[in-house]
Amino acid sequence: MIHPHLPLTHDLVLIGGGHTHALVLRKWGMNKLPGARLTVIHPGPTAPYSGMLPGYVAGHYDRDALDIDLIRLARFAGARVVAGNAQGIDLDTREVHVAGRPPIGFDLASVNVGITTDMPTLPGFGEHAIAAKPLGPFAIKWRAFLDGPEPGEVAVIGGGVAGAELAMAMANALITRGRTGNTITLIDNASALSVLGGGARARINAAMQALGVAVIENAQITSLHADHLLLDDGRRIATRFTTGTAKPRALDWIADTGLALNDGFIAVDATLRSSDPAVFAAGDCVHLSKSPRPKAGVYAVREAPVLYHNLRAVMTGDPLRQYRPQRDYLKLISLGAKSALAEKAGMVFSGALMWRWKDRIDQTFMNQFRELPTMDPPNIPAMHTTGLAQALGDKPLCGGCGAKVGRTALRRALTTLPQSRRDDIKPLPGDDAALLLTGGAHQVMTTDHLRSLTDDPVLMTRIAAIHALGDIWAMGAAPQAATATVILPRLSPALQDRTLGEIMAVAGDVMRAAGAEIVGGHTSAGDELTIGFTVTGLCEGAPITLAGARAGDALILTKPLGSGVLMAAEMAGQAKGAWVLAAFGHMVQPQSQAARILSGAHAMTDVTGFGLAGHLAGICEASGVGARLDLDRIPAMDGAVELATRGVKSTLFDENRALATTLPDDGKAALLFDPQTAGGLLAAVSPDQADTLVSQLADAGYTAAKIGVLTTGEPQVLLG
């Protein structure tokens, strides 16, 4: 384990989450390099393993079986994840440009972004067809076609190995579903399967014939239409689902990098280094200048150990290694059903045994990422004070609750403060923000700070800013001014400059979008990244407080629950990457529009560290009412209920549970005590307006719901 107080001195950025980089991340997690900050840039939370795509299309694997969870893998590697599309590399400034965020600086970078195809240039392809890669959009359209009630024709463009595998897989899936009357046509502008030997070609052609796949060779497609495609010889091929695996090409933005290229692909030497010494590359996006090879996943996988060593060697001053690709490789080709063909050096075998062999190889590869090694936490020193183990707890400090202390300790501390003797400060015990009277105007002020729950400072800044603004919005005020307080982990001067620049650029964008301006702040160095804001706001009328709720009011919540349990699970490697990214998406959603829609609320608060039950209890106590919640109507983030049912909890759960002992705490009910980061607004509104307000919130993009009512009687929260 890397010593937490060692400064970071180098930024290593992995552009793309391809097979090579996935293996580098796994190896990095086993042996992190002190002083290096690792970043991976990828459009989504997962990266599909192409070797199992035919098996998925044929119906042998579930969709999830193909995905490498990059969020979980990056947590294991200690890397920050930037979910976005790389759009370019500036070699002069050493920056990677990513859509929707400030540029990402690097000292060393590696590119493993895969490839695309020329098929969208075919007239009508964009409107009437779908490329087999990327997998996500293809999988959705294929599943919809497969589940459809009508028989239909399928056309696969590209008669290489990948196209043949895809055509046979589709045929098998339709036959297995009992879909009769379908035709599968494989079309190539040259001789199909020309990369294989005669024996392998013959067996695959026989397999395609047995599955009803028609092969058209040496044909040019002139245009695609909704129900057919046209060939240059005038033939019309009926098709209701058109896909393809035509000639690969490099992504467009690579051409503008200034790197030396070969036919659009990044040219690398034997060490996988490009023409720029600070940029390496691997996988299908490269041209191996010393030993050119076809595009095949086996090369990407075997490049990983060399790339891993060389990236570290550049930062440590050690010698580089050379990658020596094998001249030939074992080709394992799916034949539709659970049968496969193996070919190497002219030898050909096929049948169910080959399928089992291929499946074992694929599953072994994927299990590297499904079953990540458990890294033991540091031991408590042999000599320590009594109570240290109990205070430390059995899990790391939870980022999903902002590392807050519990409400009990906070209240006890606040009661020791002397009462204000100023007549321009109006006391609002327990409310979201302080109320100041400034020149006759109502001004509210609040402060919020969060320890980092993600290693991406841009995302963390956006979350922290939205979290701090929540108190202003909850009181019906318009954000006015903000100061930023930033604690950076120990970094070299260059990394300090990069990180602080990213943080302040995003902070300014978020505050300005909310109507406020950053007017100053303070920075310091510490053990970990912490970002906070002190924010003021102005109220046009009387502020919305906790104390105005009335019996009979409806309760509206504007965001789903679950960020605490999801972040706790993410830290433990138990949350799916898709769940984590979706949770971040909720956290960074501003509440400005929601606050305007709910401006007539009788009482309002934002749901944060004390959980829904705790914050609702605050309204009940201040207003002298009770509350009854409808658990089924309370929205939850993806994966939150599943994790809560499995017993995953944040470190603040027990403190929050003590605030509402009248409620159950199992299953979904556990989310009532889940601390939220940048949570939604909880508003008490007139019952006759509730449905209209929920509809307006939904139209504005909020996952809002009417979740309960306020009642007369004892100020307690109940279900039912």
Instruction: Give me the active site residues, please.
Output: 401
Phi then psi for residue 14, to 5 deg, are: -95, 115
CB atoms within 10 A of CB 146: 17
Helix (H), strand (E) counts: the chain: 20, 38
Query: Cα(282)–Cα(84) distance, rounded to whole angstroms?
Result: 20
Q: What's 274's DSSP letter?
A: -
Q: For residue 156, which of 140, 139, 176, 170 has the smallest C-alpha distance?
A: 170
Give the CA dihedral 133, 139, 141, 146, nearest 10 degrees.
Answer: 130
State both tokens at 22. Answer: 């996935």
Q: For residue 665, which of 594, 604, 611 has the smallest C-alpha distance?
A: 611
SS3 521: strand
Judge whether 231 and 220 are in contact, CB under 8 Å: yes
The string of DSSP letters for 548-611 reads T--TTPEEEE-S-B-HHHHHHHHHTT-S-HHHHHHHHHHHT---HHHHHHTTT-SEEEE--TTH
Query: Cα(711)–Cα(220) distance, rounded to whole angstroms?
Result: 73
Instruction: Find all residues with CB under 8 Å of 20, minimum gap 6, and list them.
Output: 112, 282, 283, 300, 301, 303, 304, 307
Q: For residue 357, with 0-12 CB atoms within 10 Å meaning exposed, 13-18 middle and 19 or more buried, which class applies?
A: middle
The string of DSSP letters for 15-69 reads ES--HHHHHHHHHHHHS--TTEEEEEEESSSEEE-GGGHHHHHHTSS-GGGGEEE
Instruction: Find all residues with CB under 8 Å of 501, minimum gap 6, and list them.
Output: 102
